[in-house]
Structure 1
């Protein structure tokens, strides 16, 4: 049957349309298969817990540090204040408890708003619900693609079927990045305001809710005006929804935005060496779980003794260094240089010395100018004399100074060229109550208490005398203190001398220990035998290995202050060896 031309063209057009539809459907099917072939399982979130920080406490409960891959403090939903949750819902998803994963009305409003945003060149809004943000943050990437939005919507719907609303909100509030090194509201409350969640004010809660849109956009210092505007808008939304009264919202809007100058790991900062040593021991046992498992760690540290130990070591090293003279300025610029402050900021004082300031010397008689416009002043007369006796001062020198509390003059300071360590162990239990690994952790994190192999010198002699007592000697045993010459391994003569360059003849063993007499100790080591002394020293733990040569009796071997201190414990506790430990409970 012949078709009319019109009918023929209509048939061809119909076939073409059906073909296009079929091809389009086939293409969509292929795209969907490709898009969703690696779709994550929303059910995984039923048991999901985000990485959380391990918090480290002293024995009395003082927070001394934390270890974290992501600085986060997980807070269960029932411990999150309602006003904080409401602030986030007012800012991000006011219909959270009424939709099933995707808020169609909110999405439509966002798309209409994006028309204006695109025209103005502004960032586009996604219209994502809290559930969608959980799906994106935990299961997907942040790629701004249509495919990701499709996945996000589907996963959000599945999440609503797998978890209840409270679980989803708990995940959101603990997972989200809020700036200031903070993941989740628990860490953010601590880092921004130094508070636990229940202690936050309404205004502080509203400010935290402003941050998901971009923490840098609403930085509390650099963008304070925008931060306040966003916070106050959220407070207005909460009042409009009836979650707070208009009066409470107005009162909160009137509050200033005051945050900590910088995020703090812990308010107590005298135990940096101790905290790092605990971290290394924790990693050896727990591996990467230490920084993401949210553990509670109770240590043996006594904060009172630790602070006293740090102060004593720093002061002692500074006094010792001062007795050895002024070594000169740590930097120099031309006296009339306009950019001298840039050079002065290049070197930082020890973080533990918060009152030290970098300063420019204006004249050799001790006039100085402080950085950051903190004024001018004069060095104390005794410090000017001290400097002149050393390398001296001249205009253009860059130095550290500290203002004296009583006179108002400035004291000249220098970082010691020597270093040291201090360990305090409870001898009956092995609890390490204080540990300082150096002058300043900010300048050097090498732990000289546990890592530095040093010659113990005369501190080793008690182990020689203890080995003698174990092998038949008594405190009354007589040892001759007289000159002795021995042939060294290299063929040279070795003649140990006493400190006072004289010898005392026959003396009871106890006298040699009391007076730390070198020649007498060497003769005693000859009598006991160095092999027995080496074996005894290994049993005490003071050394791992040691050559059986007589020079070792005077402390020529190597050990760490940590091992030496723990090896001394049996002298106090009745001969029982202890294993020093820093961690009591995980």
Structure 2
């Protein structure tokens, strides 16, 4: 007996020792429950437009964190009814709940179902935040111990706050706020009783209660929770029964933002945010207010897409994108190709017959009809006319039921940027025809030659270095040494003709190449390069004369921002997309406006209001900036951008077209907005003969500005207070004090523009620089291409 006793005691001792070792191993890395006091789950950064419109989110786990007092009581009660009736009574572990779960597990085990853990909400917080989902006895033991410690260190409300913000609810939703938006498109405060109960059904398994795939089970679980809420006195029986009769209707897919026209802008903001905040951008819960104006952004997208489609249509139908011979099952083949997401009205269709009227049938079963006659003429004029079985994109006519328009995705691309020239706010940015087809942002990433849209910086440099609006430069043939030994460079004007001595204004209005080269030679390319750098057009530029004609490379974003200096009095603004960023606690962490205003926060004491200095560095004399502005108004009134005068507003701007018609530009502006438009193929091939900035880019600018200027007051560009005005060649010009020309004799009429206004005394004034040859008369017959020239 003694031996048996020794053996038993030894076994007990060994078991106790083993259990102690296991416990020591199990709990050696036990997380500290106190860590939860400062814990905050990864939270989505939300991106807003200038007017508060939500335009995007950045997150790995889509979660919107809210404090407990912001969560409606109805939501809290629904989760308590579903998950933990006794939450406010137990100390972390609910013995009665555990007993009920064990009883159910006997039945579940016999049917091969998943066992229930009987976990309280506190235990779920411990598991989700501190432990993970490992299904072991050891984890359950840790969970119970941690739950008790959590209850000792945190309030019940704080525990619920963590639980309701942390929990995975399916549909890309972490936490109840994200789930409310993703499932129902509503803020949490607007959910009705039935919707609150459905969200409370999801912790048991979002896929098990999917609102579409498992709708019947989802409704049954929701209704069970509604019954529990009535039994617990959270709602009346009548309220619960009324909610049970409600259908379960959710959004077809999670939607991060209902505004969808800013994809290029939102992605550019994300890249800049990553550069500033790193990985924290996706989990820090930042509030980010951008500079975007949704009205202008939508107008920009519509104008650019329309302009690119118009170019594409001029160059002909390229043929169907697919073909289906079979009569049955072709729909699946057709629906495999989707149109650009931005063209929501386009539909995949199959040609039923191509003899006479072209009949088409939509692949989605939406109907059938015939193509508009103009589209039939268009496709039959091509080398690939339609035939039966062809798969195409069509758009139902908005005015004539049964009629369809034939559509094709353009191969050409482009960009549009709109900037406030006074603050640098980027009001709109479209980086291509369709973000869904290509997320390459041509506004910020495409380095292209700007062509003659660069010339205003050449003329500004000249005006900063002794030239005046009365100065005249020869427009005539010129030959210069080429880049290689023995080569000769002979730049020509687009129309090949020459006009002799002309004032600076006419050289810019008509975009005369030889005149611009002579001006660059007179000023010196190093000074022009310095101006281009200071204005932000380029970071580096070779000081060669070809650069004066726009042979360097820049982006539409940089070019548009650089033009702002002409409008705002010669200052280089900071073109930005992000205005303000606040962290999850509402503390500002970034502000684009870095100007100091020591007295702005002080109480009013009757003194003069604080004067905040204008933003940006002064890169040119304000008079120079205004001189260029008035000359670029002439480009619109009498020059290559004459179409833009149809806006009936004070407008300036400059067209640009590169060699072989590879890129088409127009950078234009009103007193309050600068807009840059670029059109070109991504592989830099030619756009085609005579596809100039005036033909391709100006119409896009006009379409956009019609919306941008609508319902805005009309006012002119602001001259500097010290500017002097005088007339040169019959046009009122701006001068720096002391540089204005002296009156000439009455008979000095040479160089007066035909039809140009005369000064009040009826006598044109203005003098050429000393030693300059006498001005030549302009040709009697003006070439019509003055308004549609290449440069």
Q: TM-score, normalised by structure 2?
A: 0.72
In structure 1, the residue corresponding to 2:133 is in which secondary structure? coil
In structure 1, the residue matched to 2:445 is 451
CA contact (8 A) 2:348 2:364 kept: no
Q: For 2:82 and 2:281, how far apart are their aligned partners in 1?
A: 34
1:342 aligns with 2:320: no
Q: For 1:362 and 1:337, how far apart are their aligned partners in 2?
A: 10
Q: Which of 63, 72, 79 is equivalent to 1:72?
A: 63
In structure 2, the residue corresponding to 1:433 is in which secondary structure? strand
Identify which range, 447-456 or 340-349, moves more after superposition.
340-349
In structure 2, the residue matched to 1:3 is none
In structure 1, the residue matched to 2:154 is 163
In structure 2, the residue corresponding to 1:424 is in which secondary structure? strand
CA shift, 1:570, in A, is 0.9
In structure 1, the residue matched to 2:426 is 432
1:542 aligns with 2:532: no
CA shift, 1:346, in A, is 2.6
1:582 aligns with 2:577: yes
In structure 1, the residue matched to 2:398 is 405
Q: For 2:300 and 2:526, how far apart are their aligned partners in 1?
A: 37
1:488 aligns with 2:476: no
In structure 2, the residue matched to 1:18 is 9
In structure 2, the residue matched to 1:368 is 360
1:219 aligns with 2:210: yes
Q: For 1:317 and 1:263, how far apart are their aligned partners in 2?
A: 31
In structure 2, the residue matched to 1:570 is 565
Q: Which of 495, 500, 505 is equivalent to 2:500?
A: 505
RMSD: 1.1
CA shift, 1:64, in A, is 1.0
In structure 1, the residue matched to 2:377 is 385
Q: For 1:367 and 1:30, how far apart are their aligned partners in 2?
A: 81
CA shift, 1:392, in A, is 1.0
In structure 2, the residue matched to 1:423 is 417
Pairing of 1:85-124 with structure 2 (within 5 A): 85-124=76-115
Q: For 1:395 and 1:531, how far apart are their aligned partners in 2?
A: 63
Q: Which of 265, 269, 278 is equivalent to 1:278?
A: 269
Q: For 1:580 and 1:457, how far apart are their aligned partners in 2?
A: 22
Q: Which of 221, 243, 255 is equivalent to 2:234?
A: 243
In structure 2, the residue matched to 1:196 is 187
Alignment deviations for residues 89-147 of structure 1 (CA, whole Å, 9 cap, x no partner): 10011111111111111111111111111111111111110000000000011011111
In structure 2, the residue corresponding to 1:422 is in which secondary structure? strand
Pairing of 1:253-264 with structure 2 (within 5 A): 253-264=244-255
Q: For 2:330 and 2:52, how far apart are their aligned partners in 1?
A: 45
Pairing of 1:37-186 with structure 2 (within 5 A): 37-186=28-177
Alignment deviations for residues 205-255 of structure 1 (CA, whole Å, 9 cap, x no partner): 000000001111111111111110000000000001111000000111111
CA contact (8 A) 2:335 2:364 kept: no
In structure 1, the residue matched to 2:389 is 396
Q: Which fold has the larger relative contact order, with Cα–Cα distance below 8 Å and residues 6 or more apart in sequence?
A: 1
Q: For 1:71 and 1:206, how far apart are their aligned partners in 2?
A: 21
In structure 2, the residue corresponding to 1:180 is in which secondary structure? coil
CA shift, 1:526, in A, is 1.3
Q: For 1:445 and 1:133, how far apart are their aligned partners in 2?
A: 41
How many residue pairs get aligned? The number is: 576
Q: For 2:157 and 2:441, how far apart are their aligned partners in 1?
A: 46
1:462 aligns with 2:456: yes
Identify which range, 490-499 or 432-441, moves more after superposition.
490-499
In structure 2, the residue corresponding to 1:270 is in which secondary structure? coil
CA contact (8 A) 2:538 2:553 kept: yes
CA contact (8 A) 2:319 2:385 kept: yes
1:532 aligns with 2:524: no
CA shift, 1:318, in A, is 0.7
Q: For 1:410 and 1:317, how far apart are their aligned partners in 2?
A: 20
1:327 aligns with 2:285: no
Q: TM-score, normalised by structure 1?
A: 0.97
Q: For 2:551 and 2:47, how far apart are their aligned partners in 1?
A: 38
In structure 1, the residue matched to 2:668 is none
Alignment deviations for residues 388-438 of structure 1 (CA, whole Å, 9 cap, x no partner): 111211122211111011112111111111000001111111111111111
Contiguous gaps of at least 5 residues in structure 2: 582-791
CA shift, 1:30, in A, is 1.1
Q: For 2:183 and 2:124, how far apart are their aligned partners in 1?
A: 23
CA shift, 1:340, in A, is 2.3
CA contact (8 A) 2:420 2:426 kept: yes
In structure 2, the residue matched to 1:230 is 221
Contiguous gaps of at least 5 residues in structure 1: 1-9
CA shift, 1:359, in A, is 1.2
Q: For 2:336 and 2:181, how far apart are their aligned partners in 1?
A: 31
Alignment deviations for residues 166-192 of structure 1 (CA, whole Å, 9 cap, x no partner): 000110000000011110001111111
In structure 1, the residue matched to 2:760 is none
Q: For 1:146 and 1:492, how far apart are their aligned partners in 2?
A: 85
In structure 1, the residue corresponding to 2:353 is in which secondary structure? coil
In structure 1, the residue corresponding to 2:571 is in which secondary structure? coil
CA shift, 1:337, in A, is 5.3
Structure with more helix by fraction: 1
Q: For 1:110 and 1:407, how far apart are their aligned partners in 2?
A: 64
Alignment deviations for residues 506-565 of structure 1 (CA, whole Å, 9 cap, x no partner): 111111011111111111111111111111111111011111111111111100000000
CA shift, 1:499, in A, is 1.9
CA shift, 1:381, in A, is 1.7
CA shift, 1:12, in A, is 2.3
In structure 1, the residue corresponding to 2:527 is in which secondary structure? helix
In structure 1, the residue matched to 2:468 is 474
In structure 2, the residue corresponding to 1:420 is in which secondary structure? strand
In structure 1, the residue matched to 2:516 is 521
Identify which range, 453-462 or 389-398, moves more after superposition.
389-398
CA shift, 1:355, in A, is 0.8
CA shift, 1:373, in A, is 2.2
In structure 2, the residue matched to 1:295 is 286
In structure 2, the residue corresponding to 1:358 is in which secondary structure? strand
Alignment deviations for residues 66-98 of structure 1 (CA, whole Å, 9 cap, x no partner): 111211111110111111101001001111111
In structure 1, the residue corresponding to 2:413 is in which secondary structure? coil
Alignment deviations for residues 452-493 of structure 1 (CA, whole Å, 9 cap, x no partner): 101101100001101111111111111111111222113432
1:352 aligns with 2:347: no
Q: For 1:38 and 1:517, how far apart are their aligned partners in 2?
A: 78
